Amino acid sequence: MTSGPRAVRSVSGAVSVAGALVVWVLLLGPVITLLTHISGSAIASSLSAPGALQPLVTSLEAGGVTLVVLLLICTPLARMLARGTLPFPRVWEAGVLCSLLLPPLVIGLLLVFMVGPYTPFGELIGHLNLSAVNTFLALVIAEVYESAPYYVLGAQAAFASVDPRLEQQAALLGDRPRRVFRRVTLPLAAPGLAMALAVAWARAMGAFGAVVVIAYHPYGLPLQIWTTLQATGLPSALPFALVLLVVALPLPLAAYIWSARAQSRRRG
């Protein structure tokens, strides 16, 4: 008599797995297509050209600086949003959502008004022989603007998942706020923060819309793909897309695995 429900469960499980597989394959469709359209010789030819890997270095450096900026500036904002310690919290959240909703190309166009060489900011940094257009600084600014909303919203959720009573108990035991943050809040929010940072990293590495407007130089990987496509066509551009995937993927993947393990340990 028990074989019937067991069989149903097993069929239902198989259907779920098949469904998940279909969705996974569909989501990975472009990546699978990429792999079927590039050859080893095309990869070798594209990547062995003089200076071909400089955009990779540029992307890694700019992405790294972007993450540091996000950690330093956006983490406190995310925590205050999560704890509701800011006046008019909805206004702050709406501001973050606005920057999330703006198409990256529009962000780039508006950044020209904000940081262009003849703006007050542009003239100020001009005295230091710096420019926020077509420079490494411009690339970081564009990547920060494209990735910050994703990090803030992810980090806000991570901080919100920490039970405030634990922080209150630590405070009652005499810990100062900074120590409470370091010893209680941060460890508990870390898995979520890691995921938020991973998403921001992926966003920064793939940033294009704002970058193409204010940071055409120095080339990062997305612009390298674009300019190679224009200069020599699709076959020579695709290997750089593969490089982008290979370089950008490990960090989010590691963050996801670590985050999932940390959460399962906490549950277990």
Partner 1 sequence: MVAIVGRMVDLRNRRGAQVAALFAIASIGLAAAGCSSSPSTSAPKVPGTANVAYASSLQYLNTKVVGPAFTKATGAKYLGTSGASGTLSSEIAANALPDANVFESVGSDNITPLEPKYTHWYVQYAGNKMVLAYNPNGKYASQFEAIASGKEPLKDLFTLLQTPGLKLGRTDPNIDPQGRYFIEMLELAQMYYNLPADTVTNIIGSPLNSSTSSEIYAESSLDSVLQAGELDAASAYYTQAIELHLHYIALPAMINLGTAADGAYYSKATITTTNGKVHSGEFLVFDITIIGKATPAAVAFVKYTLSSTGIAQYKQGGFTLLKPTGFGTGIPAAIRSELGS
Q: Residue 234 CB, nearest distance to partner 1 (Å)?
A: 4
Return the axis-axis angle of helices 136-160 and 104-115, rounded to nearest 10°: 120
Size of the site for partner 1 (CB under 8 A): 28
Which of 92, 136, 216, 258 binds partner 1 (CB under 8 A)? It is 216
Which of 217, 253, 254, 264 binds partner 1 (CB under 8 A)? It is 217
Which of 55, 108, 154, 252 binds partner 1 (CB under 8 A)? It is 108
Site for partner 1 contains 113 (CB under 8 A) = yes
Q: Residue 235 CB, nearest distance to partner 1 (Å)?
A: 7
Residue closer to partner 1 by CB (options 99, 119) is: 119
Which of 133, 170, 184, 196 binds partner 1 (CB under 8 A)? It is 133
Site for partner 1 contains 36 (CB under 8 A) = no
Site for partner 1 contains 142 (CB under 8 A) = no
Site for partner 1 contains 116 (CB under 8 A) = yes
**Tokens describing residue 182:** 């370091």
Site for partner 1 contains 125 (CB under 8 A) = no
Site for partner 1 contains 114 (CB under 8 A) = yes
Residue closer to partner 1 by CB (options 33, 168) is: 33
Torsion of the alpha carbons at 226, 232, 237 and 238, rounded to the nearest 10: 140
Site for partner 1 contains 229 (CB under 8 A) = yes
* Cis-peptide, bond into residue 117, ω within 30° of zero: no
**Tokens describing residue 26:** 């569909």
Which of 232, 257, 263, 264 binds partner 1 (CB under 8 A)? It is 232
Backbone Cα Rg of the chain:
23
By CB under 8 A, name the binding residues for partner 1: 108-109, 112-114, 116-120, 122, 131, 133-135, 212-213, 216-218, 227, 229-235
